[in-house]
Amino acid sequence: MRSRRALLSLQTFPDSVPVRVLEGACTLAIFLGAELTVQVPELDSDPSSWPAVMGAFPPDIPDIMEALVAESQVNAAATSEAMAKVAAKYGVPVDLRRVVSSTYANPAPVADLARMHDLVILPVPESEEFGRSCVKAALFDSGRPVILLPSQGRQLKALDRIVVAWDFSREAARALVDGLPLLERASEVHVVTVTGEKEVRDTAGRKELEKFLSGHDLHYSLHEVALEGGHIGRFLMNYAVGVDADLLVMGGYGHSRLREFVLGGATRDILHDPLLPVLMSH
Following DSSP, what letter does each residue of 174-224 receive, concatenated? HHHHHTHHHHTT-SEEEEEEEESSS----SS-HHHHHHHHHHTT--EEEEE
Q: Give 112's Cβ-side CA count (13 Å radius).
A: 4
The two domains 5-149 and 161-281 share their CATH topology (first three levels equal):
yes
Tell me the per-residue pLDDT of 15-43, one tens digit each, with 9 for 90 and over: 788 999 999 999 999 999 999 999 998 88
- The residue extents of the domains of the chain are 5-149, 161-281
Task: Report pLDDT for 126.
Answer: 65
- Cα–Cα distance between 105 and 8 in angstroms, integer? 16
CA pair distance 102, 157, nearest whole angstrom: 33
> What is the CATH T-level fold of the domain 161-281, as seen in this structure?
Rossmann fold (3.40.50)
Task: Output the pLDDT for position 83.
Answer: 96
Between 3.40.605.10, 3.40.50.1000, 3.20.20.10, 3.40.50.620, what CATH number should domain 5-149 receive? 3.40.50.620
CA distance 226 to 51: 48
> What are the residue ranges in the chain where pLDDT is below 50?
1, 258-262
Q: What is the pTM of this model?
A: 0.87
